[in-house]
Amino acid sequence: MRLLLISNSTNAGEEYLKYPVSEIADFLGVVDEVLFIPYAAVTFSYDEYTLKVQKRFDEIGVRVRSVHNEPDPVLAVREACAVVVGGGNTFALVKKMQEQGLIAALRGRIAEGMPYIGWSAGSNVACPTIRTTNDMPIVEPASFEAIGAVKFQINPHYLDVNPAGHAGETREQRIEEFIAANPDVYVAGLREGCMLRVEGSALRLIGHRPMRIFRHGQQPREVNADDDLSFLM
């Protein structure tokens, strides 16, 4: 199993996909074409999304082929050298993936060792469910079930505090609600500028910021890039 699960596509003040592109290149190695799943896009077209990703992937010599242009999306996944799933709205993404049979297809290909890259919503759908997304449920998928490539849940774009003047729940309080209802599941609060790389049974945090770990009955704790994360696997 090979996964690169990225918290966010763009750091503040930087160009789109600029900060993770070198890690993406290292992860893909000799792969020179990827199948892109753009279904998290809502306010812009799938064609626009594909072109946006292709512009950055041009820098590393990788061609981006979008699944929305394929006559048989499941076959495209089965034949892909690698799959990339972009961010956007997680509910829109998983609904379309479910409708096209891509959840099961990806689950099988990932188990075979096909490289998988996702950012934001694309990282959410690698988890058992999408229930730790930050997104509004603008559409209703058949279920919250996702690929389940990892056993834990990810909360991308994890924030430590609320904006000034906002009296609602913090992100930590929201996750504490989740683990109270799902006491056997770890949640990884993946801060922006960070990513998780899975190679077989090995899990590694990449980035200059720690990751916050939540589990029911335990105090939230911070883990760093050089820490042992095998407990999540």
Active site residues: 120, 135, 157
Between CA 233 and CA 229 the distance in angstroms is 8
Across-strand partners of 84? 36, 117
Please, what is the Cα angle at 51 between 29 and 46, to 5 degrees?
A: 110
Return the biggest CA–CA distance within the chain.
50
Half-sphere exposure of residue 9: CA atoms within 13 angstroms, side-chain side: 19
Match 């626009």 to its residue by tokens.
48
Say how many Å lie between the first and final Cα of the chain, rounded: 12
Between CA 207 and CA 111 the distance in angstroms is 26
Match 């297809």 to its residue by tokens.
105
Between CA 111 and CA 131 the distance in angstroms is 22
